[in-house]
Amino acid sequence: MSKERILLAYSGGLDTSIIIPWLKEHYDCDVVAMAGEVGIGVDQEALEKKALACGAEKIYVEDLTEEYITDYIYPTLKAGAVYEGKYLLGTSTARPVIAKRMVEIAKAEGCTAIAHGCTGKGNDQVRFELAIKALAPGMKIIAPWRTWDIRSRDEEIEYATARNIPVPVTKENNYSMDQNIWHLSHEGMDLEDPANEPKYDSLLHLMNTPEAAPDEAEYVELEFADGVPVRVNDVTGDVEMLTYLNELAGKHGVGIADIVENRLVGMKSRGVYETPGGTVLYAAHRELELLTLDRDTLHYKDLVSQKFAELVYNGLWFHPLREALSAFVDNTQKVVTGVVKLKLYKGNVTPAGTTSPYSLYQEELSTFNEDDVYNQGDATGFINLFGLPTAVVAQMRAANGMLEG
């Protein structure tokens, strides 16, 4: 019987560093590692050296940054999807692009299984596995955290130390972090108690604290076409724009989110997210929609945004409903074209002017000055008809002694 061939989603971090030897100890297998580069600037040579030293037969380091931005971040941005009002879905959107490439490589390498380092308590196990099921139904999935005897990150460090595997954390500095070009997340340690204020001075990697941000505000101009950014100040190019915005917004302390969120697996968890550039893009996109979308479409899209966020958070990127909602969103974005100016100052993003050829704002309709286009007397009939159901209910209640007062 030939050896089993297993593809491992590999990051070089603590979990996946020890999974390679663990797989080889518990399965008669060869391990093919795959690292998805989604904009953090990985050291490919070091990653390859480490994976091979841990026992991998070979490793793929795949640059997915451009695809991640255009095919996953932009659809989510256009949808205005925010999970529970705070989380801009940085990890949630990155998992499906990585999983898609994992499946492609697993098929090309003749792998019989795909393994990942997600814990049994987290959302990422669902995101990876649902993507695999959608793209490679029947593929065997191995999740060591759900079967091995290791029960904590401290025990992982001990396991690695016993096998001379270098890991990038210590028992004293043991935050669980995930980073890509969109965000950086922090969980664990002192953050596990929601009563603790995060130690921002040492915690933040992508940005200043608002207190340490410059004392002078800075303006940024963003241009959109069909809901997608095409220029940030003088910078163009998807990767270049987001990289530039991360640096600019990070300098001004913009983009910190501290949230106690509802995980799909049922528990509440607490995390701190750094999303500097993304926070500015969301703010600019919203300003443009407020100018260009009619009331009913805008309000219905807000409902779609919440459902879209839930689907992405829950790992259902490749679900037919997410695809259908994106089709609706894309239709709304045909008029979301224009230029937005924002002011960045000590953690705040403030609108400073919006223009669009598709603007629905008409000054002559909304002005407080004299105009010749709006008959204020028309409001009497409108209110009478709009309020008719309320008046009828009130009459019924009065007739039956049900009115308060």
CATH of the domain at 117: 3.40.50.620
- For 97, the token pair is 């692009």
Task: Indicate whether 128 and 159 sit together in one domain.
Answer: yes
124 is in an annotated binding site: yes
* 259 within 8 A of 274, measured Cβ to Cβ: no
pLDDT of 171? 58
Residue 319 lies in a domain: no
CA angle 85, 89, 91 (to 5 degrees): 145
Two structure tokens written together for 157: 């460090």
Q: Tens of pLDDT along the chain (405 residues)?
A: 578 999 999 988 888 989 999 999 999 999 999 999 999 888 899 999 999 999 999 999 999 999 999 999 999 999 999 999 999 999 999 999 999 999 999 999 999 999 999 989 999 999 999 999 999 999 999 999 999 999 887 898 899 888 888 776 655 567 888 999 999 999 999 999 999 999 999 999 999 999 999 999 999 999 999 999 999 999 999 999 999 999 999 999 999 999 999 999 999 999 999 999 999 999 999 999 999 999 999 999 999 999 999 999 999 999 999 999 999 999 999 999 999 999 999 999 999 999 999 999 988 888 888 888 888 999 999 999 999 999 999 999 999 999 886
pLDDT given for residue 405 in this prediction: 67
10 is in an annotated binding site: yes
pLDDT in tens, 318-370: 999 999 999 999 999 999 999 999 999 999 999 999 999 999 998 888 888 88
CATH number at residue 349: 3.90.1260.10
Kindly state the tokens that stand for 203: 């915690």
Domain interval for residue 125: 4-68+83-174
Give exposure, 362-386, as e/b (b: 16+ Cβ within 10 Å): eeeeeeeeeeeeeeeeeeeeeeeee
Amino acid at 384: N
The predicted pLDDT at position 366 comes to: 82
Residues with active-site annotation: 15, 95, 124, 176
Tell whether residue 359 is among the known ligand binding residues: no
Alpha helices in 13-164 (DSSP H): 14-26, 44-54, 65-68, 74-79, 90-108, 124-135, 153-162
Joined tokens for residue 31: 């391990």
Please report the pLDDT score of residue 17 as a whole number: 87
Cα–Cα nearest to 5, from 31, 33, 44? 31
66 is in an annotated binding site: no
Residue by residue, DSSP assigns 201-221 as HHH-SSS--GGGS-SS-EEEE
Question: Do 262 and 161 have their domain in common?
Answer: no
Q: Does 123 belong to an annotated binding site?
A: yes
The verdict on 148 and 271 lying in the same domain is no
Tell me how crowded residue 154 is: count the other CB atoms within 10 A of its CB.
12
Does the annotation place 16 within a ligand binding site? yes
Domain count, the chain: 2
